[in-house]
Structure formats: structure tokens, C-alpha cells
Amino acid sequence: MNLIFLGAPGVGKGTQAKMFSSQLYWPHISTGDILREAVRQATPLGLEVKHYMEGGELIPDQLVINIVKERLEASDTFKGFILDGFPRTVEQAEALEEFLSSKKRPLDAVLYFEASTEEIVTRLTGRRSCRSCGAIYHVVYQPPLNQDRCDKCGGWLYQRSDDQEETVRHRLKVYEAQTTPLISFYEEKGLLRKVQAAGSVEGVHSLVKKILGLA
Ligand code: AMP
């Protein structure tokens, strides 16, 4: 299946995408992860996007469109993929549509993860990520067994600089202004499936399975 996981930052779509990707072997393509890795390695791309990311701003459309197109040319995506954090603007969605239709690889569904703003702020400010494998934890809802260490690989856990409360609130405003128009964009195409994302990780996972007909 060719899928998009759409929703506000911190709504839990990355966690779900990782779970589905490891169960079904569809690559999980997170533009945020790709960009963070570029920043960490201080590549030319990383140096160009660092200040946008730290301020909670979107990076320019053309940069991220090129990254995704290149990734979707890789053969491991031919059997299916999960896009997480892309598209985030109507321009990105239109570029993706044009690319996929030129390759005759249409989208199967766009899952829209919904939760209240306060729930999202709580989730994001308590989120911790593994520096080595990218696994995601939450200090209250999903704490690691050993504080500061990843259960899966033993790597160090850290708080993303853009998960501080002030930046989180700014990211949510950017999301409202730039990304919410995609809800009607995909609704009009008959692709949108709504997911109530407020429950537990396992509860949301079952819900998504049911929606995709995989239960
Ligand atoms: P995320 O991990 O998806 O919350 O993304 C972290 C940051 O990466 C965002 O706040 C943006 O600065 C940047 N970013 C990720 N995906 C995109 C995108 N599709 N368009 C523009 N900027 C993006």
C-alpha cells in the first residue's frame, strides 16, 4: 500500500508508521528523520535547513520535494511505503501527486490522525528519542526501562530541541496554517481516513489496522 500518515506534529503518526513498517516491510519515510540526520552529519543540506528546523519553521518546498522524489525512486518503495511528515503544504501534495501519477503508483489512503492541541503539547514536551535508532518514548506514557537509555539498542535518549514548549506551540500554528488545508485536499479525492489518535499506542494501532483492512 502507498500511504500517507497526516496529522499534527506529536500526534503519534511516527510511532504508528514505525510499527507498521516493521510488521509489513513497507519503508517508513519520515522527512523529519531524514532532515535531522542531515543536520547531525552537517551535510550541505543539513547546514541549509538547520535554522528552519530549530525555529519550528517548514523548510522550503522544493528542497523537501526533491528529497522525497529521490527516496521514492528506490526499489524498496515499489511494494509500498508510508510517508510521515510529508506532504505538509498543498504545493508538496501537488508535486507528490504529479510524481506518483507519472509512475502509475497511486496513493491508497491518507490516514489523518486527530487529537486535541493540549494532548499534543503534553505528548511532544514529554517525548524522548533515541539518538542511535530513532525509537520514540514518553516520560509518562511510554517510559524507557532505564532512564536516558533506549530499551531497544541501549542508545542515549534526548529531547529534540524543537520539542520545547514554546517551539511546540509555534509548530502547531505552522501546522494549522500550512498543513490543515491538506485535509480537504485529500477528502475531495476520497482518500482521507480519520483516526482518533488520543488513545494508547496499541489501541490506535488496532484502529489503523481495521481502517486499512488488515485486522
Ligand atoms: P517532524 O519530525 O516531522 O516534526 O519534522 C521536524 C521539522 O523538519 C519540521 O518542523 C520542519 O522544519 C522540517 N520538515 C519535516 N518535514 C517537512 C516537510 N514536509 N516540509 C517542510 N519542512 C519539513
The strands making up 2-7's β-sheet, listed across from edge to edge, are 28-30, 81-84, 2-7, 109-114, 192-196
Query: Which of 11, 28, 31 to probe ligand 1 with, by most ligand atoms within 8 A of CB?
Result: 31
Q: How far apart are CA 35 and CA 43, in angstroms?
A: 10
pLDDT digits (tens, 9 = 90+) for 49-64: 999 999 999 999 999 9
Q: How far apart are CA 206 and CA 215, in angstroms?
A: 7
Residue with CA at minimum distance from ligand 1 atom 12: 53
The better pLDDT of the pair 6, 25 is held by 6
What is the DSSP-derived secondary structure letter of residue 190? Answer: T
Residues with active-site annotation: 13, 88, 127, 160, 171
> Which pTM was predicted?
0.90
Q: Say what the pLDDT of residue 129 is.
A: 93
Q: What average pLDDT does the chain have?
A: 95
Average pLDDT, integer, range 74-93: 97
Q: How far apart are CA 90 and CA 9, in angstroms?
A: 17
Q: Which residues are paired to 112 by β-bridges? A: 6, 194
